[in-house]
Amino acid sequence: MELPYAEPYKIKMVESIKRSTQEQREKWIKQADYNLFNLDAEKVFIDCLTDSGTGAMSDKQWAAMMVGDESYAGSRSFLELRETVNKITGFDYFLPTHQGRAAENVLFSVLVKEGDIVPGNSHFDTTKGHIEFRKATAVDCTIDEAFDTSVQHPFKGNIDLKKLENVFNAHPIAKIPFIIFTITCNSAGGQPASMKNIKEVSALCKKYHIPLYFDAARFAENAYFIRKREVGYEDMSIKKIVKEMFSYGDGMTMSAKKDGLVNMGGFIALNDESIFKQATVFNIMFEGFITYGGMNGRDMGALSVGLDESTEFNYLESRVEQVAYLGNKLLEYGVPVQQPIGGHAIFLDANKFVPNISREEYRAQALAIEIYVVGGVRGVEIGTVLADRDPVTRENRYPALELVRLAIPRRTYTNNHMDFIAATLKNIYDTRNQAKHGYTIVDEAAIMRHFTVKFEKI
């Protein structure tokens, strides 16, 4: 008999989670104004709101925390982290920040001006927010295949070269400060970009003298997919693949809460000394001194170890294949999900799941609420609510996809939890025709409304 797969780790510490009844959850979600961000975490059984900062650290990371150097300037923990980042990414300059959006804020304060155009592949919402906040425009150049959840394509995070070149030709080059390449592409379903595409995008950027930056939150998962799916990389180490990916860019912003395997942290790494120097000013203004940037010494220590662990094949195999395990169960039950299964999350296609709830009644939000009520599982809407209103017309923006994301925290849940989530979804899917009405918004913020928006049931 062939031996089955088993995780390359054992568990040293556990944390209790609370079960609840459907009746309790119906009451709690109403009290939370039907916004899942508003729920106390204790009222959630399996929390798939995000894979950001919710993972389990290893014994070696906890050990690194104990020997963190908390010096204000020039701490050993900073110097070690800078060396690790250089070794893993190849970028020469490094600035720590307290998380990913802080890295965006610092870097974009240097690079983005009013009226600028920043092309990319389905920019993450904070990235888009930081661009639009500066009265610039984010242009989505993701390949069309990404917007049909049932189309099979190994690299749905790819950038469409024609779309990108059209953007380059339609605007003065001086108005395009850089392009941002998100690996893996969260908004398109945790979908990777191929090395071939990264290389071609890089060549096109060079031709037009436009810098290429990575939004690298899940760069290690991207490298894993390259190794599994792209010819020529099947025997290459993850660290080598990562080095090659970054060699095609000018720099990166990083949310270390994902593939840094830490609960808090981020950074900027880049090659251009002049941009680095300008960024240090904003880092000091917004984040802290340039050798800590909002992070504790101990957190920088844990991040050094985390970056090393997350770029090992055995870790990535257990991580990405657990997500695939859940995805394959859902496919078996006929539940419509973004295919192929992404690296960090399952994306349920609400347009196919609950077509009888209208988009004006936020069908993906309605589905996310139902998943919480039925199973105590918390996911998040990635659809019209998240897309915000158009900054000019103030009309709702209806994105091509209405998704519910179930993000899987790293090294946190077992496959029994995955079975539980799958059963919850099967039960909802089997009774989906009973769903008729969604929700209406009664209160919302002007930008990034999804965090605080309040709904009423229709």
Active site residues: 72, 124-125, 215, 217, 258, 450
- Tokens for 148? 């049909």
- Least separation, in Å, of the C-beta of 103 and ligand F0G? 8
- Least separation, in Å, of the C-beta of 33 and ligand F0G? 20
Whole-Å CA distances, 106 to 17, 276, 281 = 37, 10, 9
Q: Are 402 and 380 contacting, i.e. CB atoms less than 8 angstroms apart? A: no
Instruction: Give all strands (DSSP E) within 332-385, no chain letters.
Output: 345-349, 377-378, 380-382
The residue from 25, 43, 101, 417 that contacts ligand F0G (CB under 6 A) is 101
The residue from 121, 126, 291, 365 that contacts ligand F0G (CB under 6 A) is 126
Taking every pair of Cα atoms in the chain, the longest distance, rounded to a whole number of angstroms, is 63
Question: In the range 247-266, which residues lie near ligand F0G by CB under 6 A?
Answer: 255, 257, 266
Q: Are 135 and 112 contacting, i.e. CB atoms less than 8 angstroms apart? A: no
Q: Give the residue with the Cβ less far from ligand F0G, 48 or 236.
A: 48
Other C-beta atoms lying within 10 Å of the C-beta of residue 19: 7
- Least separation, in Å, of the C-beta of 316 and ligand F0G? 17
- C-alpha torsion 28→50→269→163, nearest 10: -110
**Number of residues lying near ligand F0G (CB under 6 A):** 15
Whole-Å CA distances, 292 to 11, 64, 88, 308 = 31, 16, 19, 20
Amino acid at position 393, single letter: T
For CA atoms 279, 282, 287, 289, give the dihedral sign: positive
Question: In the range 165-184, which residues lie near ligand F0G by CB under 6 A?
Answer: 182
Q: Point out which span in 31-39, 96-104, 159-167, 270-278 binds ligand F0G (CB under 6 A).
A: 96-104
What pairing do the DSSP bridges indicate for beta strands 251-255 and 345-349?
unpaired
Question: CA–CA separation, 163 vs 115, rounded Å?
Answer: 20
Question: In the range 261-290, which residues lie near ligand F0G by CB under 6 A?
Answer: 266
Rule CB under 6 A: is residue 99 a binding residue for ligand F0G?
A: yes
The residue from 35, 50, 322, 365 that contacts ligand F0G (CB under 6 A) is 50
- Tokens for 78? 């900073």
Whole-Å CA distances, 455 to 35, 124, 324 = 7, 24, 33
- Least separation, in Å, of the C-beta of 130 and ligand F0G? 10
- Least separation, in Å, of the C-beta of 127 and ligand F0G? 6
Q: Point out which span in 95-103, 322-330, 388-396, 440-448 binds ligand F0G (CB under 6 A).
A: 95-103
Q: Are 262 and 56 contacting, i.e. CB atoms less than 8 angstroms apart? A: no
Q: Give the residue with the Cβ less far from ligand F0G, 310 or 361.
A: 310
x/- map, 183-222, ligand F0G, by CB under 6 A:
---x----------------------------x-x-----
Residue in the shown chain whose Cβ atom is closest to ligand F0G:
100
According to DSSP, residue 303 is labeled: H
The residue from 25, 39, 44, 52 that contacts ligand F0G (CB under 6 A) is 52
* Footprint on this chain of ligand F0G (rule: CB under 6 A): 50, 52, 99-101, 124, 126-127, 182, 186, 215, 217, 255, 257, 266
